Amino acid sequence: MHADRPPPMVLSMPPTSPSGGSFASLWRLKTYVRPYRWQMLLMFAVALGGTLVGVAVPLLTKAVVDGPLRHGERGELWQLGLYALLFGLAEAVLILARRLTLATTALGIEKDLRDQLYAHLQRLDVGFHDSWQSGQLVARMTSDISAIRRFLGFALIFLVVNSVTFAVVGVLLIVIHPLLGGLVVVLSLPLSYVIFKYERVYRRQIRAVQDQQGEVATDVEESALGIRAVKAFGRAGFLTERYLAKSRELRGLQLTQIKTLAEIWALIIAQPQAVLALVVLGGGAAVADGTLTLGTLIAFISLYLLLIWPIESMGWLLAASQEANTAAERVFEVLDARPRIRGSSHGHAAGQARVTERTRPDAADGAGDAEPRLVFEHVDFSYPVALDRSSGTPILTDVNLRLAAGETVALVGPTGCGKTTLTALVPRLYDVTGGRVLLDGTDVREMSLTGLRARVACAFEDPTLFSASVRENLVLGRPEASAAQVEEALRIAQAQFVHDLPWGLDTRVGEQGLSLSGGQRQRLALARAVLGRPPVLVLDDPLSALDVHTEGLVEQALRAVLAETTGLVVAHRASTVLLADRVALLGPHPSGGHTVTALGTHHELLTAEPAYRDLLSQSSDLVEEGV
C-alpha cells in the first residue's frame, strides 16, 4: 500500500545516527557480558589452549620421526604415541569445554538481553507503540539478538584468538628474519586499510538489510491480523504483491551485501598467497646469497602458513562483528527510548493510604460538596510531537471536569471529538500536555503507576483479549482475585456464557478473542474492568456491541456497581447515558480542539442543548418518517 513511503522511523532519537566509533554499540554490550566474564575468559583461554595444542600434535610427529624411528626404540615410540593420543584428546576436551561453556554463556547473555528488551518494551508508553510497527520490534527481539549471540559466542572469541596468534607469529617471524618478517607485517597494513573502508560500506548495507527485514515482518503481521479484511475484499493478490515487492527489495539489499562481503573475502584470501609468493622469492634469494639458511626459510614459511587461516577468517569474523554491531545498534535504539510516562516513586504510599480511607462508598449523590475524586483541571492534550507532523493540533483544550466520589459522568460527543483520548488520560496511557488530572487530590503524575492503575480500571472500546484462558483474561490486572469475585464480575457483565464454553473458564480465547462473538468479547472486557470493584471505572462505550435485551441486563447490574464507584463512561446512546448521574458534552473549543461545552443531567441537557439533542435524541428522522 505504501511501498514507496519511508518506513515510520524511530521517534525518540535521531533517525540514523551511527553513534560513535564503528563498534560503539558492541562495546555497550559489555554490561550484559559482565555477569559472564569468567566464562568468557575461560572460553578465550580454552580457545587459545586448543590452538596451541593443535600445533603440538604435528610437532610430536616430527619428534617421533626424528627420535624413536631413527633409533628404533620401541618403548619410546609407545610413549610418544601415547603423548600424541593425550594431546589429541586434550584438544578434543578443550573444544568440548569451550563449546559447553558457550552453550550456557552465549545463550545466557542472549536470554538476559531478550528478557530485558521485552520488559523494557512493556514499560514504554503507548505513544511509542503507536509509532513502532511490531514487525520491526519482533525482528529486533529475534534475529538481531541472535546475531549478537553468535558474535559473542564465536566471532569475538576467534577475533581475539586470531589476533593473538597473529601478533605472536608476527613477532616470531620478525625474530627469525627481521627483513622478511617486517615485510610480512607491513604488507598486512594496506589490507587492513582496504578492509576498513569496505567494512564501513558493509555496515550501512547490513543495517539496510536488517531494517528491511523488519519491514517485511511488519507486512507479514498485517496480512495475518487483517486476514478477514483481506478475504472479505478478495485482496490476497494485492497483499501478496506488496509483500513480494518488499521481499524483492530485501533480496536486492541482501545481494548487495553479499557482493560486498564476497569482495572483501576475495581480497583477504588473495593477500596471504601474494605475500607467500614474495616470501618464496625473497627468501629463495636470501638462501642463495647465503644470508639465510634453508632450514630457517622452511621454518619461516611453515610459521607463515599458520597465519593464513587467521587472516582468511578475518573476513567473516569482521562481517559477523559488523552484523552484530548494527544489530546491537538496533536493539539499543529501543532500549534507549525512555518511557515518557513514568510513575513517581514517592507518591505511592500517600496515594494508597488515601484509597483505603476513601473506598467506603460515599453517598451516591454527594456530588456537590465532597472533595472530588477525579478532577480534570484545564486539561490540554495533543498527540505526541514526533508521531506525525500534525502534532500540535490540539485534541482537547481546557477541559474541566470534576467527578465526586461515587459519581458517574457520561462523556458524550460526536465521533472523533476526543472522548477516548480523554479517558486514556486517567490511567495515564498518555499524559496531558497542559493542565492536570487529579485523583483524590493528587496529580496522577505524582503517583506511582501501579498505584494509579490499581485504582482505575478500564474497558476499552475494542475489547483487547489475549490468547489465554478466559480466567487469565479476566484477572489480567488482579491475579489475586477470588473465584467469587470473578463470578460476580461475570454476573455484572452478563458474561455467564463462559461457563458454557467447552472448558469453562479454562477455555482458551483465540487471538484477539476472535473465537467469541463481538458482544461476548465486549462483556468479557467489561467483566475484567469491574472485577474487584475498582474505585474508579473508565468505560469507553462499553455496551456498543450488545443487543438491547442483554444491554438492559448489563445496565441494571452496572448501575449497582456505578452507584459505589466513580465512573467515567463514554456513551453514544441514551440508554448508556442514563447510567450516569451527570453528562459532559464535548464540543469544539473556540481556539481549536474540543472541550466540555455543557454539563448537567441528561434531561437538563436535552432541553437546554440543541447540540446534545442532535447527538442523542431518539427522534431520528427515520423514526419520524415512520416505517
Partner 1 sequence: MTVLDTDTASPAAEPQAGDIPLDDWRGVAAEKADEISAGGGLFLRARSRRLLGSLLRPHRRALAWASCLIIVVTGAEMAGPYLVSVGIDSGIPAIRRGDWAPVGAAVSGILVTALAGSLLRLRFLKLAGRIGQDVVYDLRGRVFRQFQRLPIAFHERYTSGRVISRLTNDLDALGELVNASLDGLINAILNVAVIGVVLAVLDPGLSLFLLICLPALFLLLRWYTRGSRVAYRRTRETIAALIVHFVETLNGIRAVHAFRREPRNDAIFHELSADYKRANADAMRLMAWLMPGIKAIGAVMTAAVLIFGGFQVMDHALEVGVLTAYLLYLRRFFDPLQDLAMFYNSYQSATAALEKLSGVLEEEAGVPEPRQPVQLPRPVRGELRFEAVRFAYPRREQQSADGAAHPEKIVLPELDLTIPAGQTVALVGATGAGKSTLARLMCRFYDPDAGVARLDGIDLRDLGDGDLRSAVVMVTQENFLFTGTVADNIRFGRPDATDAQVEQAARAIGAHQFIAALPDGYATDVKKRGGRLSAGQRQLVAFARAFLADPAVLVLDEATSSLDVPSERLVQRALRTILAERTALIIAHRLSTVEIADRVLVMEGGRVVEDGAPAQLLGAATGRFVDMHSAWVDSLA
Ligand X SMILES: Nc1ncnc2c1ncn2[C@@H]1O[C@H](COP(=O)(O)OP(=O)(O)O)[C@@H](O)[C@H]1O
Site for ligand X in 350-389 (CB under 6 A): 383, 387
Per the document, the length of the chain is 627
**Residue 152 engages partner 1 in binding (rule: CB under 8 A):** no
Cross-strand bridge partners of residue 39: none
Strand 396-404 with 456-459, pairing: unpaired
Among the listed residues 439, 310, 428, the one whose alpha carbon sits nearest the alpha carbon of residue 374: 439
Q: Alpha carbon 429 to chain centroid distance?
A: 18
**Residue 395 engages ligand X in binding (rule: CB under 6 A):** yes
Residues 109 and 32 sit within 8 Å (Cβ to Cβ) = yes
CB of 377 to partner 1, least distance (A): 22
**Residue 483 engages partner 1 in binding (rule: CB under 8 A):** no
Among the listed residues 510, 508, 544, the one whose alpha carbon sits nearest the alpha carbon of residue 526: 544
**Residue 550 engages ligand X in binding (rule: CB under 6 A):** no
Stretch that binds ligand X, among 282-290, 340-348, 516-524, 615-623 (CB under 6 A): 516-524
**Residue 485 engages partner 1 in binding (rule: CB under 8 A):** no
**Cα–Cα dist 268/599, whole Å:** 77
Reported as half-sphere exposure (CB side, CA atoms, 13 A), residue 72 has a value of 0
Residues 322 and 155 sit within 8 Å (Cβ to Cβ) = no
CB of 140 to ligand X, least distance (A): 22
**Residue 463 engages ligand X in binding (rule: CB under 6 A):** no
Site for partner 1 in 84-113 (CB under 8 A): 84-85, 87-89, 91-93, 95-96, 99-100, 102-104, 107-108, 110-111
**Residue 519 engages ligand X in binding (rule: CB under 6 A):** yes
Alpha helices by DSSP H, 226-293:
227-233, 236-289
**Residue 162 engages ligand X in binding (rule: CB under 6 A):** no
Pick from 11, 138, 183, 563 the residue near partner 1 by CB under 8 A.
138
Site for ligand X in 402-431 (CB under 6 A): 413, 415-421
**Residue 394 engages ligand X in binding (rule: CB under 6 A):** no
Pick from 49, 413, 435, 593 the residue near partner 1 by CB under 8 A.
413
CB of 616 to ligand X, least distance (A): 14
**Residue 216 engages partner 1 in binding (rule: CB under 8 A):** yes
**Residue 203 engages partner 1 in binding (rule: CB under 8 A):** no
Phi then psi for residue 294, to 5 deg, are -60, -45
Checking 180-188 for CB contacts under 8 A at 24+ apart, the result is 180/279, 180/282, 180/283, 180/286, 180/300, 181/300, 183/275, 183/278, 183/279, 183/282, 184/275, 184/279, 184/304, 184/307, 187/271, 187/275, 187/278, 188/271, 188/311
CB of 103 to ligand X, least distance (A): 42
In the bound state, the residue with its beta carbon closest to ligand X is: 517
Q: How crowded is residue 112: how many other Cβ atoms within 10 Å of its Cβ?
A: 16
What cell numbers appear for 375 in the block? 478532577
Q: Which residue, 418 or 532, is less far from Mg ion as judged by CB?
A: 418
Q: Is the Cα torsion angle 560, 561, 567, 570 positive or negative in sign? A: negative
Stretch that binds partner 1, among 2-10, 176-184, 195-203, 350-358 (CB under 8 A): 2-10
**Residue 523 engages ligand X in binding (rule: CB under 6 A):** no
- Residue span 333-372 as binding mask against partner 1, x where in contact by CB under 8 A, dash where not: ----------------------------------------
CB of 64 to partner 1, least distance (A): 6
Q: How crowded is residue 84: how many other Cβ atoms within 10 Å of its Cβ?
A: 18
Site for partner 1 in 529-548 (CB under 8 A): 541, 544-548
Chain positions contacting ligand X, by CB under 6 A:
130, 383, 387, 395, 413, 415-421, 514-520
